[in-house]
Structure 1
Amino acid sequence: MTTHGHGHGHGHGHGEPAPLGTAAATVVVTILGIIAAAVAVGAVMLWPSTEQIQTKLPLSGDVVTESGTVTAHEFGSCGSVSAGTAFTGNPVPPETDAYQCERSIVDIESGEDEGMRTLLEIIPNPGQPSLHVGDDIRMLRQPDINGTIQYSFEDYSRGLPLALITLAFAAVVIAIARWRGLRALIGIVVAFAVLVVFMLPALLDGKPAIPVALVGGSIILYAVLYLAHGVSLRTSSALLGTLASMMLAAVLSYGAIGLTKLTGLSEEQNTDVQAYIGTVSITGLLLAGFIIGSLGVLNDVTITQASSAFELAELDPNANRRNIFASAMRVGRDHIASTVYTLVLAYAGGALPLLLLFSVSGRPIQDVLTSDAVATEITRSAVGGIALALSVPLTTGIAVLLARPLGSAPTTPARRGGRHSR
């Protein structure tokens, strides 16, 4: 890197970081290289086997889902023998008027019975779907005890609406952030690929949760940060701070879960995993969720702190490391204050149905707060908040050393009239 020796003794173009010493940069790049090599080795060691994991899921085996469209709907007598079966023409009318329900005729649009129809009879109850003509749905296709294929409502088909919402999101991000926004979207794709291709199969294969989460999280961070923000020392300082904070979050999560004896079994999905997939540790799954869940907010804070330190160093070439650190920390404190309650409110928002149930249960508030379900969210918020708060001085310190490396004295413009102090 060439340093100009005229003017104020510093050479940096508009929009570029202040001049950097090579020692601090070499140390950071070397550390990141070592971590990347360790992550690669870890990924190889933890890579899931190709063996098919046997599960005891009640909906495994012969059960598949097919697509369909509701073509007729009415409220009337139920009990038709055509309900759930594939047929052509019209369904057989019910023999009695014993009970009333919503009757929907659905055109089957995939599978062996494509082109035929079926009748769905649904008794109106809370939690039951209310179908309308034109609804695109997914239906379970499974044999009954006699081996006859039966269709039943499984879920709404949301492919097209989700695609439109996703495209709108991508269009807005790219329109405003341009190429950086496009690279950020590619980073999201990479993150999901890591989750689907490596982390979930590794956890399913019984690999230890913390190493899997750390390796997977590291891969995501390397990809997302460099894709979204470019390869630079500014990004590298944020990456190193985020990796260190993620390690801290892992240690805190392990200690907090052990201290509070959280089981995770208050969540229905976790009990299903324990019942049907014997190779997965629920505590490990909880740990991995804590670690991966902290990445987004950590990344947000660390890249802001790194950018603040570099911008401050560029704007004031005469500022020393202590001043740059103090100024960046003032930004960081505001960021911590806003992000911590954002973090807590996000978890509280996700737990609203749970809190609503507890509010009408008549249980004492201390029992509610210490229950496994609520305690899990409190612990998750606390661990994320601690890692978030500590990531600010850590990342700021790394960024300051790169923006104003050790051994580089700030430049001082020539003064007229002798030495004076302020």
Structure 2
Amino acid sequence: MNVLMILSVILFILMVSIGGNKGVLSFISLFFNFGVLMITIILMLDPDRNPIFLTMIACTVISCINLFFINEINRKTITAFISTMITIVILLLFIDLVTRVSMIQGFSEEQSEELAPYSLYIGVNFIKVGASVIIMSTIGAITEVAMSITSSMSETLNHHPSINHRDLFLSGMRIGKDILGTDTNTLFFAFFGGYMALLIWFKDLDYSLGEIVNSKIFSSEMITIFSAGIGIALIIPITSWIHSLVSLKLIARNRRVMNED
């Protein structure tokens, strides 16, 4: 039994013992999401297919898995899904523009030695692939924030059923403010944790701070972090507004039906 299998078993045991049935579904969803990513990458190899369009389909499927497969179809997951899709569309338009302007697509100078024996003509649009990579890096954080806000707002509504739209929206915003700082820092430290060896390599190559900041590989990762942070910031007001509007409308409709009966 190798290390990967041992870690998988430990993760499964912990998720089941803590999360119960949802823990099992969450563990299974990891393999579903991996399958979606692999299929998307394979489809992107065809130059006739648009990577951004494929990314939107993949994000939709991943959102359905993370929201509906794990947490079932209900008011919380539906509003979280709608908010996620709206945020992804806005973010995709922004990221596509940033990728074109910054020209971070393709391989960096630091990777040239490893790639020298191979042909660099791949036949795909790396500008769109670069935008797709950034979007894929943000989808997990966005769905997480959307679900956290809708769950918290639903608890607030259960305890205060007479709350109005404005107060419920502000409640979601306050929850989002607490999430915003921790999630953006999580993304930031995940980058430095994953690229610690690269930063050490930069130091061994005697890169100055300006050379590090202006290197393509560093810039692309920082743009990914900033784009994910923008997505997290956008999803908070969008989810808060949509969930408060939908929830109160459903409550008002149920009350009218009960009064008519």
Mapped to 2, the partners of 1:172 and 1:272 lie a distance apart of: 44
Is residue 340 of structure 1 aligned with residue 184 of structure 2?
yes
Mapped to 2, the partners of 1:392 and 1:256 lie a distance apart of: 22
Q: 2:173 aligns with which of 317, 325, 329?
A: 329
Name the stretch that deviates more: 179-188 or 279-288. Answer: 279-288
Q: 1:199 aligns with which of 35, 40, 64?
A: 40
Aligned to 1:315: 159
Question: Per-residue CA shift, 1:365-398, capped at 9, x if unaligned?
Answer: 1222011111111111111111110111101111
The within-5 A match list for 1:346-365 is 346-365=190-209
Aligned to 1:280: 124
Identity of aligned residues (%): 21
Q: 1:408 aligns with which of 249, 252, 256?
A: 252
Aligned to 2:259: none
**Structure with a larger share of its residues in strand:** 1
Mapped to 2, the partners of 1:363 and 1:201 lie a distance apart of: 36
Aligned AA (2:139): L
Mark the structure with the bigger radius of gyration: 1
Is residue 392 of structure 1 aligned with residue 233 of structure 2?
no
Mapped to 1, the partners of 2:46 and 2:31 lie a distance apart of: 23
Mapped to 2, the partners of 1:170 and 1:321 lie a distance apart of: 40
Q: Residues 308 and 272 from structure 1, CA distance in 2 versus in 1: closer, same or farther, beyond 3 angstroms?
A: farther
Q: Which SS does the other structure have where 1:205 is aligned?
A: coil
Q: Residues 296 and 283 from structure 1, CA distance in 2 versus in 1: closer, same or farther, beyond 3 angstroms?
A: same
Q: 1:215 aligns with which of 57, 79, 85?
A: 57
| Uncovered stretches (5+) of structure 1, i.e. residues with no partner | 1-158, 412-422
Aligned AA (2:4): L
Query: C-alpha root-mean-square deviation of aligned residues, in Å?
Result: 2.5
Q: Residues 327 and 357 from structure 1, CA distance in 2 versus in 1: closer, same or farther, beyond 3 angstroms?
A: same
Q: TM-score, normalised by structure 1?
A: 0.56
Is residue 257 of structure 1 aligned with residue 93 of structure 2?
no
Q: Which has the higher contact order (CA 8 A, sep 6+)?
A: 2
The answer on whether the counterparts of 2:105 and 2:129 sit within 8 Å (CA) in structure 1 is: no
Q: Residues 259 and 351 from structure 1, CA distance in 2 versus in 1: closer, same or farther, beyond 3 angstroms?
A: same
| Uncovered stretches (5+) of structure 2, i.e. residues with no partner | 256-261
Q: Deviation at 1:407?
A: 9.1
Q: Residues 339 and 201 from structure 1, CA distance in 2 versus in 1: closer, same or farther, beyond 3 angstroms?
A: same
Mapped to 2, the partners of 1:295 and 1:209 lie a distance apart of: 16
The answer on whether the counterparts of 2:40 and 2:54 sit within 8 Å (CA) in structure 1 is: yes
Q: Deviation at 1:161?
A: 2.1
